[in-house]
Structure 1
């Protein structure tokens, strides 16, 4: 197996920083078209244990209530349990991890929350060859779903996967459905997308091209979602429902999310780790929704694993 060189890791780093910049610029354009001057503030930081990152956060915009697009490249001297559970052979090894991770919480309940990340992990167990893999994906969490948005989202995912193998979309969609699942609620976090980890079955260059396609795919897919929905009117009741559903997002990220656990176990920068949490969320006690309401249909229909391409094309 080809192992990444320092030059390879530098190329990945440059791609990630460029991706972060392009995503922030595209989302800022959505803000500015609404008359808002909100921008992603830049916060560069260093980590005492080694490495650092660039956090970019936009808050209280007209379109985006809170969005974080985070780049990090950290050095780890002793790998934690979250990294070695599936790879016991690298326990205690030194390693480096670099990636871009983002969560965008729009203000308008008609615009879904979205998440994406792409990352590279390289461990160097003493006396052994380096162990490396890529990971990432993107997923969509609507409150008032739009079928055409869901279809376009999954079509983009399928299209970017196609050059890498006919089964890649199906496998990584299934992985997404399995991973972004709130077991204690018995519901999906949203309508899915792609998720993958431990990606090294191809050569390094092919794996790298795949995460480039995933990063660009998120950007290509999310901007039309904003354009289609950000100017729609909404009621106070719909806003309340959005905050209630955001509570589920918080539950998932604090209880299940592997990236959050990894950051906490490696002594990461807390503000950057928890930037995925919205500024506002709510937990109402057992709210009841009318049987024929869109709120009820969200959980009864949309938050179930489905073959969206097949169902929505019919």
Structure 2
């Protein structure tokens, strides 16, 4: 398996920074259309061990209540045991990781929360050949789901996967369903999407192509859903339900999310690691809704893995 050159890694970096810029610019355009003036602030940072990143955050917008579009390219001199549970052979290795991570918490409860992450990891164990892989994906967390939006999201995922193999969508959709699962709640975080990790079996060029397809696919799927739903009227009760369900998002990110845990275990920048948490959230004690309400149907029906392309 061919290892990536420094030029290969630079190409990945260039794409990631370009994707970050396009996502921010597109969401700022949605803010303007929605009558808002909020823009992404840019926070460049470095870390003592090597590398750094560019954090871009929008808060208090008319459309986006909080959005983080984070680029990082970090160097690690000594991978800790806690960060190598899936690859114990890499304990103590030097490594570099670069990626873009996105979490968008819209203000309107009718606009789903969305997440995307794409990354490249390269490790160099002493006396051995480098080891590399790509990972990432995207997923959607609606509060007031619409069947046509869910199908659109998954159709976009299916279409971008198809050039890479007939089995890719089904495999990476299931991986997403399995990954974004809150075991202590016995429920999914949302209606899924794609998730992949340890991807290197296609060779560097094809794996990089897939990572780009996933990154571009996220933006292509997100914008129509924002445009369609951002101006819909909502009640105080719907807003309260949105804040309550955001609590599940926080629980997953703090308890299970690999990216959060990796950042904490490797001495990452806390503000960037925890930018995925919404500014406003609630944990109401044992709330209840009518059995036939959309609020109840969210957990009883929508937050169950399904073949969304054929069921809707």
Q: TM-score, normalised by structure 1?
A: 0.99
The worse-fitting range, judged by mean Cα deviation, of 83-92 and 122-131 is 83-92
| Unpaired segments ≥5 residues, structure 1 | none
Partner residue in 2 for 1:289? 289
Conserved 8 A contact 2:139-2:190: yes
CA distance in 1, matches of 2:82, 2:145: 33
CA distance in 1, matches of 2:45, 2:276: 18
CA distance in 1, matches of 2:286, 2:65: 26
Conserved 8 A contact 1:182-1:252: yes
**Partner SS for 1:272:** helix
Conserved 8 A contact 2:2-2:203: yes
Partner residue in 2 for 1:240? 240
Q: 1:83 Cα shift? A: 3.4
The worse-fitting range, judged by mean Cα deviation, of 76-85 and 171-180 is 76-85
- Whether 1:205 aligns to 2:193 is no
**Partner SS for 2:144:** coil
CA distance in 2, matches of 1:83, 1:203: 24
Partner residue in 1 for 2:81? 81
**Partner SS for 2:13:** helix
Partner residue in 1 for 2:194? 194
Partner residue in 2 for 1:126? 126
**Partner SS for 2:4:** coil
CA distance in 2, matches of 1:131, 1:158: 29
Q: 1:82 Cα shift? A: 4.5
Partner residue in 1 for 2:31? 31
Q: Deviations over 1:269-292 (max 9, x none)?
A: 000000000000000111111011
**Partner SS for 1:198:** strand
Partner residue in 1 for 2:51? 51
CA distance in 2, matches of 1:81, 1:176: 25
Partner residue in 1 for 2:68? 68
CA distance in 2, matches of 1:206, 1:28: 32
CA distance in 2, matches of 1:47, 1:173: 35
Q: Deviations over 1:9-60 (max 9, x none)?
A: 0000000000000010011110011121111110000111110000000000
The worse-fitting range, judged by mean Cα deviation, of 76-85 and 180-189 is 76-85
CA distance in 2, matches of 1:85, 1:286: 36
1:1-314 correspondence runs (5 A) = 1-312=1-312
Conserved 8 A contact 2:34-2:230: no
Superposed CA RMSD: 0.6
CA distance in 2, matches of 1:176, 1:83: 21
Q: Deviations over 1:182-208 (max 9, x none)?
A: 000000000000000000110100000
CA distance in 2, matches of 1:20, 1:80: 29
Q: Deviations over 1:141-176 (max 9, x none)?
A: 000001111000000000000000000000000000
CA distance in 2, matches of 1:211, 1:39: 27
**Partner SS for 1:100:** strand
Conserved 8 A contact 1:82-1:258: no
Matched length: 312
Conserved 8 A contact 1:59-1:67: yes
| Unpaired segments ≥5 residues, structure 2 | none
